[in-house]
Amino acid sequence: MSNVKEKDKNIYVTSPYLPPLSDFMPYLEQIWESRWLTNSGPFHEELEKRMADYLGVEHLALFANGTLALVTALQALRITGEVITTPYSFVATAHSLLWNGIKPVFVDIVPETFNLDPKKIEAAITTQTTAILPVHVYGKPCDVEEIQKIADTYGLKVIYDAAHAFGVRYKGESILKHGDLSALSFHATKVFTTFEGGAIVCPDHRTKKRADDLKNFGFHDEVTVVAPGINAKMNEFQAALGLLQLQHIDKAISRRREIDNQYREGLSSVQGIRSLPLPADSQYNYAYFPVLVKKEYPLSRDELYGGLRRHGIYARRYFYPLISEFPMYRGLPSAAPSNIPVAKKVADQVLCLPIYPTLENESIAKIVSVIKGAR
């Protein structure tokens, strides 16, 4: 559950910022009057341009959701065989590989960031490896330089799952410029939302055109189908909400920063609760607030999770279980717990606390108080 009504006393891990309905009505009226509901309508085209400008990228293709963007990104680069990826992510990361008939190969994560560990990638490369699929977990940038060095050495493509990384900048530039492609998600749980939605950030117009063809059944023009594409187009209602979201996104991220600061200050003295350090050289979006519940804390992670729920605080165990533990993946050799010990340990300790722009200070104080008062 992601949306929180004013009368609802429960606190959920995230809630989308929705502008006043009166702000949305002019967009709805234009859609009704034009009868242009989908298929690259005027709001869709405007959002692509404005979003590319905001993110600091040149070419961006909008999608109906982030999973379809990721599936299509793999198709756009004609990825086959094996792809090295992380077990510590939402399951759509690996599902996108299976949908394309690609074998996921899991490697471990870095304990400081929970991102793919570049030091473990080379040992997993085989003659069947064609790409690397890292995730900017919680919006914290991967070690993009080291990953690119490995990709260049072995002739591999790099596709970033950037579902959490809207607006993130690294060393002064958009993190979305790294790799061959980046796929974004605009689900209701994300920093930026279009109800559902997603995008592929492309390096050039030719690649964007291929992505656009693939999301429209493979049509290159009115009478020419060039690939077995799918229907993954963003409609005008989604695009309209996106245009409204862009007007408020900086304020929303600023409020997320304030909440992050309050959590860090409030939890700094709690033994056994570890907050992740903020990423260096980055302009972060504060997409999530994960903590690790260590053995020094009086409760286990799951006991704290249950205790928060009893107080109406619905934190989430992102990401538990690991992708590699689900039935369709656990038979893979790379899914063995001995291959991914850091990811396993983190998944058993992590808890993401509520963070969203409308979360009130008194609610933050309540969450901190419950965690501090655990016995």
Residue 98: name the closest of 138, 56, 133, 47 by CA.
133
**Integer Cα distance of 189 and 106 in angstroms:** 26
State how far Cα 54 lies from the chain centre.
Answer: 18
Q: How many other C-beta atoms are found inside a 10 Å radius of the C-beta of residue 314?
A: 17
Domain with CATH 3.40.640.10 in the chain: 21-243
Residue 158: strand, helix, or coil = strand
Bridge-based pairing of strands 289-293 and 273-275 is antiparallel
- Please tell me the predicted confidence (pLDDT) of residue 8: 53
Which CATH number is 21-243's, of 3.40.640.10, 3.40.462.40, 3.40.50.2300, 3.40.50.300?
A: 3.40.640.10
Per-residue pLDDT, 6: 36
What confidence score (pLDDT) does residue 1 get?
32
- pTM, 2 dp: 0.95
What's phi and psi for 183, nearest 5 deg? -115, 130
Domain(s) labelled CATH 3.90.1150.10 in the chain stretch across: 249-372
The span from the CA of 67 to the CA of 44, in Å, is: 19
What pLDDT score was predicted for residue 194?
97
pLDDT one digit per residue (tens) for the chain, 375 residues = 334 343 457 999 988 888 899 999 999 999 999 999 999 999 999 999 999 999 999 999 999 999 999 999 999 999 999 999 999 999 999 999 999 999 999 999 999 999 999 999 999 999 999 999 999 999 999 999 999 999 999 999 999 999 999 999 999 999 999 999 999 999 999 999 999 999 999 999 999 999 999 999 999 999 999 999 999 999 999 999 999 999 999 999 999 999 999 999 999 999 999 999 999 888 999 999 999 999 999 999 999 999 999 999 999 999 999 999 999 999 999 999 999 999 999 999 999 999 999 999 999 999 999 999 987
Largest distance between two CA atoms of the chain: 68
CATH topology of domain 249-372: Aspartate Aminotransferase, domain 1 (3.90.1150)
Other CB atoms within a 10 A radius of the CB of residue 33 amount to 8
Phi and psi at residue 139, to the nearest 5°: 85, 0
